[in-house]
Amino acid sequence: MKKSDPIGIFDSGIGGTSIFKEIHKLLPLEHILYLADSKNAPYGEKTKEEITSLSFKNVDLLLSKNCKLIVVACNTATTSSIKELREKYKVPFIGIEPAIKPAALNSKTKAIGILATKGTLSSELFAQTTDLIAKDIELIEVVGNGLVEAVEDGEQGSEKTHQLLKKLLAPMIEKKIDHLVLGCSHYPYLVPSIKKILPPHVQIIDSGEAVARQTKNVLKKKGLLASVQQIKPEFYTNKNPQVLRDLLHQGNSENFQVSYLDF
């Protein structure tokens, strides 16, 4: 592996671009390859075996492009498959999990909302994390059915999505949460709508910055941080490239290369 080799990122679609943006901001010299497996989104409704198989497929493709580190920018793929990925491949992996710890440490009402996919909330890794961290906290867990599809279809700001969010967040508001943990990399794109629904004091937490810092730490430790500007990030999707293109260009003047790839 060389410093000039790319960082690989994959997600069950376009939501992991929220993680990409944090990594790109922190490590602007790095060449990044992003895989959006939108054809198979959402992963949250699939079995552990299906998710692991899809994760292997994505990793094999990224390794064929000489990636020096791989970020699993999908909560469901992390909680279902990170152990198997680390056992099978020698490349370093960075996973993404719901940021329950900072929410638990800072909660005054002792009630935290977790919005995530079925696959994340029902995983063994999630259960272990919550058992360790949130013993004296009430966790109001809600499966975000339909939210990944809304982002994948470019409908994150629509009235239909707003009404869906109102329904999903209602039990959390009733329990007086003071923190909402976003347990899916698609969900940061829903924050503008979420803020219109939740009381203003509720803190919304996602994992993007923490994942970017961990990526930098691992590359630094292994002597693999790029020291000169590499080529621009590249994006590959197995569905409609225009949706990914539009999402990347929201509030961003950079013109990223987005290509269709049948994988």
Question: Which residues are tagged catalytic?
Answer: 74, 184
Please tell me the distance from the alpha carbon of residue 182 to that of residue 19, in angstroms, as a whole number: 13
* CB proximity list for 43: less than 8 A, separation 6 or greater: 12, 50, 51, 54, 74, 76, 77, 80, 117, 119
Integer distance in angstroms from the first to the last C-alpha of the chain?
24
Please tell me the distance from the alpha carbon of residue 15 to that of residue 247, in angstroms, as a whole number: 9
Q: How many CB atoms are closer than 10 A to CB 163? A: 12
What dihedral do alpha carbons 146, 81, 120, 184 form, nearest 10°?
-60
Do the beta carbons of residue 37 and residue 97 sit within 8 Å? no
- Read off the DSSP letter of residue 66: T
Return phi, psi of residue 232, to 5°. -60, 155
Q: By 3-state DSSP, what share of the chain in percent is helix, strand and coil, each rounded to 5? A: 45, 15, 35
DSSP H stretches of helix in the chain = 17-26, 48-64, 75-88, 100-106, 118-121, 124-133, 147-152, 159-174, 191-197, 208-221, 241-248
Please tell me the distance from the alpha carbon of residue 141 to that of residue 176, in angstroms, as a whole number: 13
Phi-psi region of 128 (alpha: psi -120 to 50; beta: other; left: phi over 0): alpha
